[in-house]
Amino acid sequence: MKSTEISIWFFIGVLLTIYGVMIMLYGMWEWVTGNWKLTNVVLANLHAPVWWGAIMLALGLFYSLRFRPGKEL
Amino acid sequence: MLELAATATTSGGLVSSMMASLAIGVPSLAHLSPLDIAVIVIYFAMVMWIGFYLKKRANTSEEFFMAGREMTAWIAGLSFVSANLGSLELMGWAGSAYQYGILAAHWYWIGAVPAMLFLGIVMMPFYYVSKTHSVPGYLKLRFGQGSSIVAACSFAFMTILMSGVNMFSMALVMKVVLGWDITFSIVISSLAVAAYVALGGLRSAIFNEVLQFVLIWGGALLVPILGLIEAHGWTGLKAQIIHNFPTQDYLHMWKGVGHFSDNPMGVHWTGIVFGLGFVISFGYWTTDFLVVQRVLAANSLRSARIAPVIGSYFKMAVPFIVILPGLLALVVLHNPDGSLMHLVGEDVVSAHPGMGLHSYNEVLPLMLVRYCSPGLLGLGITALIAGFMSGMAGNVSAFAAVWTYDIYQPLINKKAPDQHYVSVGRWATILGVVVSIGAAYLVMNAKGIMDYVQALFSFFIAPLLGSILMGMFWKRATKAGGFWGLLIGTITSIGLWAWVKADPSALRYVAISPDAKDMAENMYRALWSFGATVIITFVVSMFGTARPVAELNGLVYGATKLPKEEPVPFYKNEWYWAALAVVLFLALNIIFW
């Protein structure tokens, strides 16, 4: 059976994907340019935006694909 | 909301603190980058998209008010918890954890988990089988119109007022944390909530609550993770707390509650177990329509029973993003000169303007600013906004259902086409938001109202629990017994509150001890009013004639034949997961004893 409605998990997947991309790319830019050393953020050396953004992106892609509209359920 | 209802001091303190900060012109804690702004704007775009998308699925009253009763157990369960997880709770209880230590977790564990399991396993069949649209609707079926109208009017009034209080509090948070204009915050967030709930009804509110629940975790979870790394793990955190505060016990939940004066909260274990753990908690989680409505929208009886069980696991986990940051702040927050930062009460902040002091309730924003770079900070702020919006959407969607089904339909227009009631529900949603905005400005201009509003909310919880339990579990309870029990129980609660206000020494009678503080007073007042409701219902019922048992099918334990559910594997069985939740709940209490 094909799903005809958009699942809430798809909406969540899309939002997490967008956030994941934005935050991870910013974190990578900050890391590459060395700007993370200029911030007042504690533990900036751990580059949280990169791995937190990557986790969000992975979860977002999983939910977006798993619950995409029209997918066979 | 339970936390609000149970504690006038904590969230009242949050607002007072914010007001004090505004009064002395303290600079905002954080400045948002364009990336942060983009994160927030995308969030608003997403909730509006969901509202517009779901408009086509909110055409009948069953769809608009009950989401078509099509929600899966997971969606109903997450929405059930999310409607309760407001930004005020997040901030207020993080501040309480800084002030009182892990004792604050009682409001998330014993103050929620047993009641949620009881709702799912024991009470849900009666709500669900009776096909009621609301909790006052159940009272109407069981005790008649009188009890239903009392419960519906008090619920509608308090829901809207609490929605206004939350709205104002959220706007204050945005003002203090980000420097945003209060009216701007109120208007934008209210319009968004009004639009997506009026468009898509309960389904839209529930879908957005699930989205908001994910965002709250996504935005707040990083703080305890990075905090634990900085504090060298839980063991390191405990060692540093003991080193920094050798005379205070921040790390035990039950050790210091043998006497009122042995703990900073001024509570006693009897108040925690019976007042909070039973009356207040059960009253809120099993009879407040704000949360029960989410579970009633489940697609089957099994889903309706398992949804609160799923919610209980997430409720047990919430202290990780609320209580733990408060404890971490005790050791990681430092002043610019390197000394340990000491957060203070709002009275101290306002008495020393310009000294850069921060209040207990600024713990979460301070921790967010400490660990979150651009993007992540926006995500954290979005989590706070999402928390506020999920709570407000819960309030207005519940208000719309109670107004339409339990006030408008029986009292104003009994027989109208279904489409008419959907329109009434849409307008009630918008009206609810408008009145909430009015309430927000009322609170803003009459600062003392905050404490009264929260006390008012607690007046109705305990008596309603007494009525519902007597009606659900005692076949002999009569219509008159239900009505007078509910009314006198409510009057008892208000009377006890007024007595202590007029004569503070009465605390020794109401809360058993002169050492008791506000929280303990709330707990014992709830106990007395619950007791009054049960006794009056019992006595009046004994003088009346009970309804025939045949009429009580679907309403009362022992008179109801529950539908047979298909056997399922153990991992899909609500009893299995409820038992596991009990084990986890006991383990947590023992570990942090």
Instruction: Report the sign of the C-alpha dihedral through residues B248, B29, B441, B290, in that order.
Output: negative
Query: B506-530 as b/e, with b when 16 or more CB fall inside 10 Å?
Result: bbeebbbbebbbbbbbbbbbbbbbb
- CB–CB of B493/B463 below 8 Å? yes
Helix, strand, coil % over all residues of chain B, rounded to 5 = 75, 0, 20
Alpha carbon separation from B136 to B99, B141, B531 (Å, rounded): 38, 9, 20
Distance (Å, whole) CA B590 – CA B277:
16
Q: What is the pLDDT of residues B445-478, one digit of tens each?
A: 765 555 566 566 667 888 999 999 999 999 999 9
For residue B31, the SS3 value is coil
Residues B114, A64: Cα–Cα separation, whole Å: 35
Question: CB–CB of B374 and A26 under 8 A?
Answer: yes
The separation between CA B328 and the C-alpha centre of its own chain, rounded to angstroms, equals 24
Smallest Cβ distance to B371: which of A18, A23, A41?
A: A41
Answer whether B475 touches A (CB < 8 Å).
no
Residues of B in contact with A41 (CB under 8 A): 370-373
Give the residue from A5, A19, A30 with the most B CB atoms within 10 Å of its CB, the best one to mutate.
A19
Residues of chain B with pLDDT under 50: 1-12, 24
Q: Where are the alpha helices (DSSP H) in B123-232?
A: 124-129, 135-143, 145-178, 182-220, 222-230
Say yes or no: B410 contacts chain A, CB-CB below 8 A.
no
Looking at residue B451, its pLDDT comes to 59
Give the one of A5, A18, A39 whose C-beta lies nearest to B373's C-beta.
A39
Give chain A's residues under pLDDT 70: 1-4, 72-73
**CB contact residues (below 8 A), chain A span 4-43, against chain B:** 5-6, 8, 11-12, 14-16, 18-19, 22-23, 26-27, 30, 36, 39, 41-43
Neighbours of B37 (CB within 10 A): 13
Answer whether B456's CB lies under 8 Å from B165's CB: no
pTM above 0.95? no
Closest CA to B307 of B522, B483, B149, B79: B79
Query: A15 and B75: CB-CB below 8 Å?
Result: no
Residues on chain B touching A23 (C-beta within 8 angstroms) = 35, 39, 375-376, 379
How far CA B516 is from CA of B95, B196, B312, B498, B512, in Å, comes to 21, 44, 29, 17, 8
Q: What is the pLDDT of residue B10?
A: 46
Q: Best residue in A3, A9, A11 to probe B by mutation, most B CBs within 10 Å?
A: A11
Q: Residue A41 is nearest to which of B75, B207, B372, comparing CB atoms? A: B372
> What residues contact B441, with CB distance under 8 A and at least 6 apart?
B168
Closest-CA distance, A72 to chain B, in angstroms, reads: 18
Pick from B214, B229, B373: which is nearest to A49 by CB?
Answer: B373
B230 touching A, CB under 8 A? yes
A57 in reach of chain B (CB within 8 A):
no
Tally A–B CB contacts below 8 A.
77
Asked if B372 and A8 come within 8 Å (Cβ–Cβ), the reply is no
Question: CB contact, 8 Å: B372 with chain A?
Answer: yes
CA–CA distances in Å: residue B483 to residues B144, B444, B549: 8, 36, 19
Q: pLDDT (tens digit, 9 = 90+) per residue, A19-39?
A: 999 999 999 999 999 888 888
Which of B38, B211, B229 faces A22 most closely, judged by CB atoms?
B38
- CA B435, CA A5: separation in Å to the nearest integer? 34
Would you state the pLDDT for residue B577?
A: 93
Q: What's the confidence (pLDDT) of residue B9?
A: 40
The partner residue sitting opposite A8, judged by closest CB among B43, B211, B229, is B211
Q: How far is A29 from chain B (nearest CA, A)?
A: 12
Average pLDDT, chain A: 88
Q: What local confidence, expressed as pLDDT, does residue B485 receive?
A: 94
Q: Is B218's CB within 8 Å of A18's CB?
A: no
User: What is the ipTM score, two decimals?
Assistant: 0.93
